[in-house]
A and B are shown apart, each in its own frame.
Chain A
Amino acid sequence: MYQFEYHKASSVEDAMKKLASADDGKILAGGMTLLPTMKQRLASPSDLIDLSGIAALKGIKVDGKTVTIGAMTTHWEVHSSKDVQKAIPALSDLAGQIGDPMVRHRGTIGGSIANSDPSADYPAAVIGLGATIKTNKRDIAADDYFKGLFETALADDELIVSVSFPIPKRAAYQKFPQPASRYAMVGVMVAETDSGIRVGVTGAGPCAFRVPAMEKALGAKFAAESVANITIPSDGLNSDIHGSAEYRAHLVGVMAKRAVAAA
């Protein structure tokens, strides 16, 4: 790891000030993505600004219609929260499938969504449940947030404060884990929400996306057979040593069917 300066921020304003005055500063959340990347010298920030001391970024709030999760809330806290289990069991279930227990004890929802790894789990929930990303500057709708491979709508001086998930009528997440890393080869969140059916896919493309054809079919009839014959074009999907684009396209259908059956 290259040398850097470490700062602990006391508030969101303090974090933004420290970030602005750094040469090439980076936010540090759980460090479960950033630190391995720095250990491999694939990233070499001049300064790390640690958010772990900011109480306002932690915790889970449920009000009638939404579950709001602070950016620094860990995967374990989301998974084990009785409130989340009651309001959106699919979200608790998803958080419990991320990595392993030690990763879940440190990794945060804000870090995962800011990073937007093409195989990360939370992006499927953000897209599939139609979440809103709240930053220090504005609210960003899920459909406007993911822009491409590790690319999001976040500006350089923008920080995720919390993520709000509207409580769906029903939802389920199904993931086909890459057996070594546990990241999603493909993961699909299917939800029946107040504004209709949403299908959020992660792992298959450069970033999470919806499948309108499946949403329409499920809107007509919410049953696994409705998506059975819908094929996803493999053009532009991810292809690597773990699976071809065609394989991933096929998995989207399989995971969607399982999610509908489980919802």
Chain B
Amino acid sequence: MGKVSMTVNGKAVSADVEPRTLLVEFIREHLRLTGTHVGCDTTQCGACTVHVDGQAMKSCTMLAVQAEGADIVTIEGLAKDGKLHPMQAAFKEHHGLQCGFCTPGMVMAGIDIRRRHPKADEKTVRHELEGNICRCTGYHNIVKAIMNAEV
């Protein structure tokens, strides 16, 4: 066991973890922030996407100890004062979700896409979404939401 410290959604947190504890396990099981999901064992689905120092990453394929000192934002950290983040609002407006399992990862990836491509067109959004799998929606409304979010 070793001590790991980081900032999650603006709050300093620390805990004793095994080196093999994944960042997503730390977030879900130690911090009880269960909005970040686990959808696969192979780093392919993107349900676990969080922001690490401002960049989207798959928290199922990072050790908690690799995030030592990092600034992490999860889906729980987006809404401010009871008001949805513009990307969340866009998913709601464009009906970018059905069962909602992929949604936290899609929203976190969507924010990252628009950060890097402020005026992303449909082709860019579809290419950039290659690491996020949705079994319900067929992607059309997710793409629409990401393109049209007022971020």
Which residues of A pack against B, CB within 8 Å?
1-6, 8, 28, 31-32, 35-36, 38-40, 48, 50, 52, 76, 80, 99-103, 105-106, 180-182
**Pairwise interchain contact A6-B63, C-beta atoms closer than 8 A:** yes
Question: Taking CB as reference atom, which chain A residue is nearest B50?
Answer: A102
**Pairwise interchain contact A31-B66, C-beta atoms closer than 8 A:** yes
Label chain A's interface by main secondary structure: mixed
| B104 lies within 8 A of chain A by Cβ | no
**Pairwise interchain contact A36-B42, C-beta atoms closer than 8 A:** yes
Query: Which residues of chain A have C-beta atoms less than 8 A from B97's C-beta?
Result: none
Chain A: minimal CB distance from B44 (Å): 7
- Stretch in B53-61, B71-79, B83-91 touching the partner: B53-61
| B29 lies within 8 A of chain A by Cβ | no
26 contacts between A and B (CB under 8 A): A1-B22, A4-B19, A6-B63, A8-B68, A31-B63, A31-B66, A35-B43, A35-B61, A35-B63, A36-B43, A36-B61, A40-B41, A76-B55, A100-B46, A100-B128, A100-B129, A100-B130, A100-B131, A100-B132, A101-B109, A101-B116, A102-B46, A102-B109, A102-B131, A105-B55, A106-B62
Query: Which residues of chain A have C-beta atoms less than 8 A from B131's C-beta?
Result: 99-103
In addition to A103-B58, A105-B55, 6 A-B residue pairs with Cβ atoms within 8 Å of each other are A1-B22, A35-B43, A102-B56, A103-B43, A105-B52, A105-B57
Query: Which residues of chain B have C-beta atoms less than 8 A from A28's C-beta?
Result: 66
Q: In the complex, which residues 110-125 of chain B have their Cβ closer than 8 Å to any Cβ of chain A?
A: 112-113, 116
| B102 lies within 8 A of chain A by Cβ | no
**Pairwise interchain contact B61-A101, C-beta atoms closer than 8 A:** no
Question: Taking CB as reference atom, which chain B residue is nearest A48?
Answer: B19
In the complex with contacts A6-B63, A99-B131, A101-B113, A181-B19 CB distance below 8 A: no
In the complex with contacts A31-B66, A36-B43, A181-B44, A102-B19 CB distance below 8 A: no
Query: Which residues of chain A have C-beta atoms less than 8 A from B128's C-beta?
Result: 100-101
| B10 lies within 8 A of chain A by Cβ | no
**Pairwise interchain contact A105-B56, C-beta atoms closer than 8 A:** yes
Question: Taking CB as reference atom, which chain A residue is nearest B43?
Answer: A36
Among B20, B62, B109, contact of A4 (Cβ-Cβ < 8 Å): B20
A36 to B65, CA, bound (A): 16
Query: Which residues of chain A have C-beta atoms less than 8 A from B113's C-beta?
Result: 101
Chain B: minimal CB distance from A99 (Å): 7
Question: Taking CB as reference atom, which chain A residue is nearest B113?
Answer: A101
